[in-house]
Amino acid sequence: MDGILLVDKPEGMTSAAVVREVKRTLRCKVGHLGTLDPFASGLLPLCLGEGTKIAQFLNAADKAYEGVVRLGTRTDSGDRTGRPVEQSPLPPGLSQARCDLVAASFLGARLQVPPMYSAIKREGVPLYRLARQGVDVEREPRAVRVDALELAPVDDSRLRLRLECSKGTYVRVLAEEIGAALGTRAHLESLRRTRFGRFRLAAAIALPVSCEAAATALIPPRQALDDVPEASVDAALASRIQRGQMAALRDLARPGQAGSALKVIGPDGALLAVVTADGARNWQFARVLS
């Protein structure tokens, strides 16, 4: 069980609880990519076994979501699980044309202030714990990017949302910002992640996960990093690389630029290691797989 397993997380379950359940069933090391809030559902990629070693190369992936924005009420958490803290009249005559104009105004790079109900830590304490204590602290804006946004009226108080965005974008905050752009307050009523980088929800399996289903759906580490260039090596060089010998990397083609990555593939077709180029255009070990 080494690779990436795509799971369709149900509503009401934490990402950590999904990890615990799958780990208990498959009896291997399990981690997750891109936490989903408990009220949200959808695609949650899990790293199994040696797949945990490539998480750093997958975590920066763009994401896509579908959801519903509820207008007229702001909650302390920014979603339906929170306590209502502010209400405002609904925007009159909400048309598709107006939704299109608002959606277009959010496209591109922008700064976003993370919510208090988030896992960001302040002096080692997650902000959501401070929020539950009624404490509000200043948060630094973060650069995010909205690549695509569609808004469509469902009724007078709800909007259907489709979103493609960068890592680090808080959809709950975006829902509040959409409400403000429409002259009202808002919160996120529902959210479902449909894409994580190249991974799609259609390929995800539901809980509970069986060993048979996991084995069938598991994406090998080499395939999970399809967008990273690769180099195949013979058995002798593979053995040296698996032992972490830096001198062995000099037998690989010289990298083109600093920061570039390369998959090293053994004679059996399996991923042996991922190496990255330093400022002197020399390969350095990033991760070595067993």
Q: What is the pLDDT of residues 188-214, one digit of tens each?
A: 999 999 999 999 999 999 999 999 999
In a shared domain, residues 87 and 160: yes
Is residue 192 located within the same domain as residue 70? Answer: yes
Q: How many domains does the chain have?
A: 3
Q: What CATH number does residue 9 fall under?
A: 3.30.2350.10
Same domain, 48 and 154: no
Supply 188's token pair: 């996120």
Q: Which helix (H) or strand (E) holds 213?
A: helix 211-217
Enclosing domain of residue 114: 63-196
Q: What is the mean pLDDT of residues 71-79?
A: 95
Query: Which residues are the active-site residues?
Result: 37
The answer to whether residues 37 and 156 belong to one domain is no
Identify whether residues 46 and 158 lie together within a single domain.
no
pLDDT-derived band at 125 (thresholds 50, 70, 90) equals confident
Q: Are residues 72 and 180 in the same domain?
A: yes
φ/ψ (deg, to 5) at 152? -140, 130
**What's the pLDDT score for residue 281?**
83
Residues 185 and 161 grouped into a single domain: yes
This prediction's pTM = 0.91
189 and 217 fall within a common domain: no
171 shares its domain with 273: no
Of 151, 177, 196, the one marking the end of a domain is 196
Q: Is pLDDT at 48 greater than 90 in this prediction? A: yes
Instruction: For residues 142 and 36, state if they share a domain.
Output: no
Average confidence score pLDDT of the chain: 93
- What pLDDT score does 93 carry? 86
One domain, residues 156 and 260: no
- Select from 175, 181, 191, 179 the least CA-distant residue to 63: 191
- Per residue in 224-242, pLDDT (tens digit) is 999 999 999 999 999 999 9
Are 29 and 136 within one domain?
Answer: no
Task: Give the CA count within 13 Å in the CB-facing half-sphere of 24.
Answer: 8
